[in-house]
């Protein structure tokens, strides 16, 4: 299947034409709307004047994951959503695609160069451990290296990147794209150690004795359970594991008829991925109505373009099958409430069920080391500092789950919070 991309690449000519449409606003609302505050008019102006290296550097100054954010950001509700062009009833500037153009050109160019001179010198005696190698940790680690600190990043999985490697749907961003950014962050001088599980391969006590500050960017826990009969049948998989598996395995077979349970952006990603991987039918079942679906509208449109079907007001009651999945029984719910309608159950036959109910918050890993609330690490959003002044946290483990660009912004803020704590 031909995979239409979310923000397809511009040709160089198209990029220059689009860049020249920008009004290069003073106090640009697009910059204010970006959580990492990329100087959008500045990087666009550099594209217009054919200074692509300068354009990429402008992006990277604010957002070290400028490539991934150009691909996965919900630009419709962030930078492009606030572009002044809307006021003139014109198409907003395609900021995401311009950013992608600048960043991909930069990486294509950089990969033919010697990266040794990117390494930032260590200027301070303090050492920092970053736990997790997702966007928040990568951003925090990169910012700390820019500030002159020695940083070691610990990741339990074999590949770094977190969500960008394992969790973002392939049609938006591939593991190869994520690897480019990780190579860049490694070249800055971040010591990235994969396959090291904190709490097992290295204890928190050991970290505390070896490092002056510890940053937690460990993301969310596993996908929430449905809590209905049949949930453990072969052919039932949670969406996060499903996306990670098809992104990292050479071959991944899906059912001919796949039901995705959930109504968020991850459910949409899974439903589209099922179609891309060969499902003849991919049906998203959501327990509320269409207008209550939490997924972004552009994601919904994207799913429809892929032929994903939607079943509204459907609450799963049980998964049917003995040795494998044969279908899902649903109860009908009333719109606006979650009350089920008596005697209105129905079944959708299928051979695969993907559960996308959202991820649970963490808790067990940290024990009583830090104050938690609702499974999240309690952290000051301005500095990332937690109830223990040696620990900082940002990204999904502290926020409960937001966009990649939010994690980057929060990780950066925590890096400065860590620096302030050393200077206090
Ligand atoms: Fe350009 Fe739109 Fe940003 Fe103004 S708001 S600088 S027109 S992208």
Alpha-carbon gap, residue 53 to 51, rounded angstroms = 6
pTM above 0.85, yes or no: no
pLDDT on residue 262: 92
Over residues 348-372, the mean pLDDT reads: 77
Higher pLDDT, 408 or 251: 408
Alpha-carbon gap, residue 138 to 158, rounded angstroms = 15
pLDDT on residue 1: 44
pLDDT on residue 254: 83
pLDDT on residue 2: 46
pLDDT of residue 256 exceeding 50: yes
Q: Which CATH superfamily is domain 12-110 in?
A: Alpha-helical ferredoxin (1.10.1060.10)
- CATH 3.50.50.60 is the classification of domain 118-221+361-423: yes
Which range among 4-13, 73-82, 99-108, 343-352 shows the weakest confidence by mean pLDDT? 4-13
* 314-320 vs 391-393, strand pairing mode: unpaired
Domain boundaries, the chain: 12-110, 118-221+361-423, 236-355
Considering only CA atoms, which residue is closest to atom 1 of ligand 1?
Answer: 22
In ligand 1, the atom with minimum distance to the C-alpha of 23 is: 7
What DSSP letter does each residue of 7-60 carry, written as one string?
SPPPPHHHHHHHHHH----TT-HHHHHSTT---HHHHHHHHHTT-HHHHHHHHH
Q: Show the tokens assigned to 253.
A: 């077979």
The rounded Å distance from CA 77 to ligand 1 centre is 14
Closest by CA to 94, choosing from 37, 32, 16, 168, is 16
The rounded Å distance from CA 63 to ligand 1 centre is 18
Q: Do domains 12-110 and 236-355 have the same CATH topology?
A: no
pLDDT of residue 313 exceeding 60: yes
Considering only CA atoms, which residue is closest to atom 3 of ligand 1?
Answer: 30
Mean pLDDT of the chain: 89
Closest by CA to 72, choosing from 109, 100, 35, 41, is 100
C-alpha distances out from residue 63 to 39, 56, 200, 279, Å: 10, 10, 32, 37
pLDDT on residue 208: 94
Region 236-355: CATH code: 3.50.50.60
């Amino acid at each position: 299947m031909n995979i239409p991309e979310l923000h397809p690449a511009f040709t160089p000519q198209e990029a220059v034409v689009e860049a020249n449409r920008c009004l290069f606003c003073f106090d640009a609302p697009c910059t204010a709307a970006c959580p990492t505050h990329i100087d959008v008019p500045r990087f666009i102006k550099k594209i217009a004047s054919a200074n692509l290296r300068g354009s990429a550097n402008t992006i990277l100054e604010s957002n070290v994951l400028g490539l991934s954010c150009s691909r996965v950001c919900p630009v419709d509700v962030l930078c492009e959503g606030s572009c002044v062009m809307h006021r003139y009833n014109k198409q907003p500037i395609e900021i995401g695609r311009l950013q992608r153009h600048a960043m991909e050109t930069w990486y294509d160019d950089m990969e033919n160069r010697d990266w040794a001179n990117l390494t930032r010198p260590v200027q301070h005696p303090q050492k920092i451990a970053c736990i997790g190698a997702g966007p928040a940790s990568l951003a925090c680690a990169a910012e700390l290296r820019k500030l002159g600190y020695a940083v070691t990043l610990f990741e339990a999985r074999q590949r770094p990147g977190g969500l960008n490697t394992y969790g973002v749907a392939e049609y938006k961003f591939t593991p190869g794209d994520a690897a480019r950014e990780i190579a860049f962050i490694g070249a800055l001088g971040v010591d990235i150690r994969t396959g090291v599980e904190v709490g097992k391969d290295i204890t928190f006590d050991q970290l505390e004795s070896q490092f002056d500050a510890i940053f937690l960017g460990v993301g969310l826990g596993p996908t929430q359970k449905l809590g209905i009969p049949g949930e453990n049948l072969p052919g039932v998989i949670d969406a996060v594991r499903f996306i990670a598996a098809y992104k990292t395995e050479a071959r991944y077979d899906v059912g001919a008829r796949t039901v995705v349970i959930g109504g968020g952006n991850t459910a949409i990603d899974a439903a589209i991925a099922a179609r891309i991987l060969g499902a003849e039918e991919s049906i998203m079942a959501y327990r509320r109505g269409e207008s209550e679906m939490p997924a972004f509208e552009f994601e919904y449109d994207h799913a429809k373009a892929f032929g994903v079907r939607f079943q509204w007001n459907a609450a799963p009651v049980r998964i049917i099958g003995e040795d494998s999945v044969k279908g899902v029984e649903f109860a009908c719910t009333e719109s606006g409430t979650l009350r089920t309608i008596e005697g209105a159950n129905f079944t959708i036959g299928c051979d695969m069920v993907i559960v996308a109910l959202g991820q649970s918050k963490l808790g067990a890993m940290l024990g009583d080391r830090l104050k938690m609330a609702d499974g999240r690490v309690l952290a000051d959003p301005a500095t990332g500092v937690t109830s223990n002044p040696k620990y900082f946290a940002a990204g999904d483990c502290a926020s409960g789950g937001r966009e990649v660009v939010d994690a980057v912004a929060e990780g950066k803020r925590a890096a400065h919070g860590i620096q302030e704590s050393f200077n206090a």
